[in-house]
Structure 1
Amino acid sequence: MPIPYKSDGGTLHPALELAKPGHYFCETNYSFDEEVRKQLSDLRFMLIFLSTSFMSASPPSGSSKRRVRTEAQMSQKRLADRVKHRENRQEHKQRMERMEADIAQIRKNLDTVSAQLRTLPQLSADLVALQQRSSQKPPGEAYEMDTSVETPDFPAGRRAATAGGAPCATADHHDIPPAEVPEEMSSLFPTPSHVDCRCGVQHHSQADCLEYRSFAILYESHAAFPKDPLHARSLPRNPELPNMTLHSYGDNAVTCFLTSFLKGFEMASVETLFGVYFFAYRLMRWRLHPDPMTLKDVPPWLLPTEVQNTYPHPVSIDYIPWPDLRDFLCTNPRIKSRHSVKIYLESLQLKWPPGCPLMAVEGGQVCVSPEFEAIACDLNNWELGPPWLEAFPRLVSLVHP
């Protein structure tokens, strides 16, 4: 059916000029239809061209304007850059100073090690010569020569002080550990696979050795002083009865060490075990914190002598009750190998008065008797019997004058 077309005025596209008022579009009007298609195709091409031109002329999406700083901002940026450069230079300078200090310390250590290494040939020669001289003498003759060494001239009044009087005049100079002198030279030699000590018993490790454990406890306690200076003062004045009977290790390093160590030895009696535990505990307690309070609790005859503070010696000598014997062992190192801890602990005896009870009950608890401390702190109540008496008859005068 024909579709009428009416114009409402205005300018029409040329392609539409063909359609006049009153004209009809017919399906059979092929010439008109082709012309309209051509004009519409041109119109679509023009729209596409205009759209492409407009898009190419517009700025790309995502582009931003260039930032322009003000003069104040530029000045602030320059100031920040100068501060940053100054910090970098200071950090670099400090790093260089640390490196130079490390290099200087390394050179100093190398010089020290080189100086020590230069002494090794002479030490080796001296040791070889000493071994050759020792091998040329029979063992019995060498021992007789060693034990015949004259006893050093001890200060007058020593024996009077050891009987329970006031401490000797050198009692205030006991802060020097006795093994600091040979420590530097011993560090040059490798540690042997077995434990070489004066205990006289077989050890599975260094932790069971009297020498090693004594120094370890002292070092750990003194190293902890800056953090906990009151730790040593918190130790009780006396060990508890379960500690002295070796049934409990206690809650501090001293009782733990003494209990574990004394379990490996046999004492002459229970009184002797209690006495050894007692004065060894007092000595270690003072060593951990040498102040007037702990010093007062140590028996005067057990305090280190001037000879002990002068001559390097094994720490086990410090536990021997007799000062003259300790000084003799410190000044005659050639015979120390026979003086083991085992022979002393098996020979040491506390002469307990007959009829005096060792235990007492106070407040419903079992404890040592009140007379125990007075008896154990009297050197006249201590003696050395066999096997020490049979092995060292020439030294009896140092123990029983």
Structure 2
Amino acid sequence: MVAFSKHYLPFSCYEVGHTWTPFCPSASSGVGLSCFEEGLKIYSSVYLLSALLSGKLPNIAQCKRIFSSIVQSSFFLACNGFCFIGAFCICRQIFGRFGVLSSGFFPSFIANLIAILVERPTRRPALAIYVTNVASETIYNQLVARRFLTPIPHGDIIIFSLTLAGLFRWFQATQDRNNFLFKLLRALVGEGEIRSPSNLPTVKTPPGKGIWNKSHPLCPHTQGCLQNSFQVLFKRFLCGWGLHASVSAILSFPLIMRKPSNLLLLLKGMKHVRFGAFIASLATIYQAVCCALRWLQDSNRKSHSILAGLLAGISVGFYRNSTLILYLAWKTLEVLYYEGIEAGYLMKVPGFASFLYSLSTSILFHAAVMEPHNLKPSYWKFLMKITGSRISQLNRTSLDCLGLQSSKMLPNFNPEYESNHISDQFKLWLQGHKDEY
């Protein structure tokens, strides 16, 4: 078999990349069109569902804005796919060969910078957080695969506990009460837990008042601390179970319509119970710890939320979802970053969300090209869907010489080439590859 350097590959973009067609413009436009079509389906559902959840029927002007947003977001997705293939081919022309970075990272970064400028500015931070979330998980998988990092037992619970500590401290201090995270935490632990700190003296429990009804005078709840904890546990469990079951039912609606008996099977799922237990234990532990600290310190300090958040983090043991944990971690860093800017401690970087999106998506695209086995399975399925499975049609066997086991996930894929569009050097490589097998 022909041997090549571990640092570069001399083949063309057709031989390595768009193996389904030898023509670069056709490859770019094909992927772009596929992304646009899938984008229309995805964003139509997203924007229409968002409009329905608002509880109001949109008027004509709002319908026009929704339609415009759907088209713009779909065009953003199409631009990402079109520009990636285009930049992939251009990088091959500029460098004259493929390297580890020029095969995925460089062309993707160029494409992402162009595409994110097409998307609405208000959506850029949310997109940046989402892809950074997935990229951080991908980087972790890459580090573990290379043995640079050893998985920490219960590391996800540790991350979640630290996240909740920071998130609840922000919850107690922030003035931004319109923030989605603030509203979510308020619904979880109650309005009373954002009271101003106080150091009022302890009032003795009235005679005859048992432990079930006993509460500290600084506690925001009207019933006893123990009674309140059990009520929170029961109510939040029902809310968590109902929410998870409802979302699952909506996502499985076509299946339920075909066979209504599937609804009963869906409602029996243990995932709903685990999610309910997660929500219930999180809220209960947080409130119980806050109550205990009021009794111990005879005060209601905002700093109590840090310890309460740390201990409440163990609740994620019921529902260990890495996507949820990392998303909350990045959202916490985001709100703390903006709080730091408002307080004057940090400097606002213009275009930071666009840069973060471009960088994180480049990491994901690079992994999709060079080492898809380290990519999150759900994100790989997403790429397969929007590209019409073309992302799986790269000749990753030829990329194996770069040392990243690129064909590990798709070892049996052998593209068919038009012989008049491939080089003699590549023909020799193909012959050597066939001889090996």
Pair in the same fold by TM > 0.5: no
Instruction: Name the structure with the higher strand share.
Output: 1
Q: Please give the TM-score of this superposition, normalised by the length of structure 1.
A: 0.26
Q: Which has the higher helix share?
A: 2
Comparing both chains, which one has the higher relative contact order based on Cα–Cα distances under 8 Å and sequence gaps of 6 or more? 2
Report the TM-score, using the length of structure 2 for normalisation: 0.24
Higher-Rg member (1/2): 1
